[in-house]
Amino acid sequence: MENGKKIWTREEALALHDQPLMDLLFQAQTVHRAHFDPNKVQMSRLLSIKTGGCAEDCAYCSQSARNGSKLSASKLLEVERVLSEARKAKEAGATRYCMGAAWREPKERDMEQLVAMVEGVKALGMESCMTLGMLDDSQVFRLRDAGLDYYNHNVDTSERFYPEVITTRSFSDRIDTLNRVREAGIKVCSGGILGMGEEGEDRVDMLVTLANLEEAPDSVPINMLMPQDDTPLADLKPIDPIAFVRVIAVARIMMPTSHVRLSAGRSDMTDEMQAMCFFAGANSIFCGDTLLTADNPEDDKDMALFAKLGLKPMAAEDHMECKKKAQQEPPIPNLRPMTPPNTSVEAAE
């Protein structure tokens, strides 16, 4: 413990991850129920406000100019167009509106428009989130003063595996941006992508990094790689679904009050796999039929799945209730595996 916050060791996290699946799922569901209504899922909508032509070289991304993508670069969308999409998202049940731009970092000339977008989304009564790449102090303060609630900046993977995926900015650059955002009082959204060729241990190391940040991210998006044509990861085989579910469960246990978001990759998941992820503690999704440039299930497909599972969209007030409850309750005792680890996840992949 450090200032009342649990600091996870790699060994503890690996022991959680490698325990028999039924024990892991039971523990994750127990933690989930202590902090959230297990039948409610937070809904976010993501809009690409500036697509393609990015200077970074993220190997999974079709928006990188360095990956030889055929995607042409667009300009930053007009504020009114963004707000008109936000209104539609609100009508469809989204409580948080996320705006993503394919940039290394925003330029000064873009800031006024970005500030107007945040103010406009807030005026609609929605939570606002942006993902714009790296930010300096002045940009962070301007976005915070405009009312930005969340900033997304994924660590993507473990520090060890990171250079295999991205070379144009470092793992520590990402952590610096996350710290800058948190210190300014904006909530952090940060997670990663599974299935990029990493080992099971890299997935666990990524969760240790996130859980041990000064404050764990409020939202933790866990993406399943959707290989994009013309990217270096185009031919990778999909991650084993059970290996994916394990990571969701470990994230839930290590970050009990965070929203664990089932993000990109849902359109390649069966209903059964998504149901297992919700049981393992995922309680947030992106709704809408596209995620930046990747496919996502359509709203009616999601609503049919929610009806089958008895899930309901989480209102923003429910979120606050859960946080209050979490603060009143003592931490969950005995987070150690219930039986000694005797399975190897890697062997199952």
- Residues that constitute the known binding site for [4Fe-4S] cluster: 54, 58, 61
Decide if 129 is catalytic.
yes
Least distance CB 255 / ligand SF4 (angstroms): 22
User: 85: alpha, beta or left, given left = phi > 0 and alpha = psi -120 to 50?
Assistant: alpha
Q: Please give the C-alpha separations between residue 100 and each of 114, 168, 335, in angstroms, as whole numbers.
A: 11, 19, 36
Least distance CB 56 / ligand SF4 (angstroms): 4
Range list of β-strands (E), the chain: 40-50, 96-101, 127-131, 150-152, 187-189, 192-194, 219-224, 259-262, 284-287, 290-291, 294-295, 312-314
Binding-site residues for [2Fe-2S] cluster sit at 98, 129, 189, 261
Residues forming the site for ligand SF4 (CB under 6 A)? 54, 56, 58, 61, 63-64, 102, 133
d(CA 64, CA 103): 9
Decide if 287 is catalytic.
no
Least distance CB 63 / ligand SF4 (angstroms): 4
Between residues 99 and 102, which has the closer beta carbon with respect to ligand SF4? Answer: 102
Between residues 152 and 219, which has the closer beta carbon with respect to ligand SF4? Answer: 152
Between residues 90 and 104, which has the closer beta carbon with respect to ligand SF4? Answer: 104
Taking a C-beta distance cutoff of 8 angstroms, is the pair 131, 151 a contact?
A: yes
Least distance CB 287 / ligand SF4 (angstroms): 21
- Tell me which of 61, 277, 287, 322 is the catalytic residue: 61
Least distance CB 139 / ligand SF4 (angstroms): 16
Taking a C-beta distance cutoff of 8 angstroms, is the pair 132, 103 a contact?
A: yes
Between residues 193 and 287, which has the closer beta carbon with respect to ligand SF4? Answer: 193
Between residues 54 and 189, which has the closer beta carbon with respect to ligand SF4? Answer: 54
- Tell me which of 10, 66, 96, 98 is the catalytic residue: 98
- Tell me which of 45, 189, 203, 287 is the catalytic residue: 189
Decide if 261 is catalytic.
yes
Binding-site residues sit at 54, 58, 61, 98, 129, 189, 261
CA-based nearest residue to 42, from 281, 328, 225: 281
Decide if 189 is catalytic.
yes
Least distance CB 205 / ligand SF4 (angstroms): 20
d(CA 63, CA 154): 16
- Tell me which of 45, 58, 252, 277 is the catalytic residue: 58
Between residues 27 and 296, which has the closer beta carbon with respect to ligand SF4? Answer: 296
Distance of CA 283 to the CA centre of its chain: 11
Decide if 174 is catalytic.
no
- Tell me which of 261, 266, 277, 287 is the catalytic residue: 261
- Locate 44 and state its tokens: 């976010």
Decide if 277 is catalytic.
no
DSSP 113-172: HHHHHHHHHHHTT-EEEEE-S---HHHHHHHHHHT--EEE---BS-TTTHHHH--SS-HH
CA-based nearest residue to 43, from 307, 299, 331, 280: 299
Decide if 54 is catalytic.
yes
Which residues are marked as active site?
Answer: 54, 58, 61, 98, 129, 189, 261
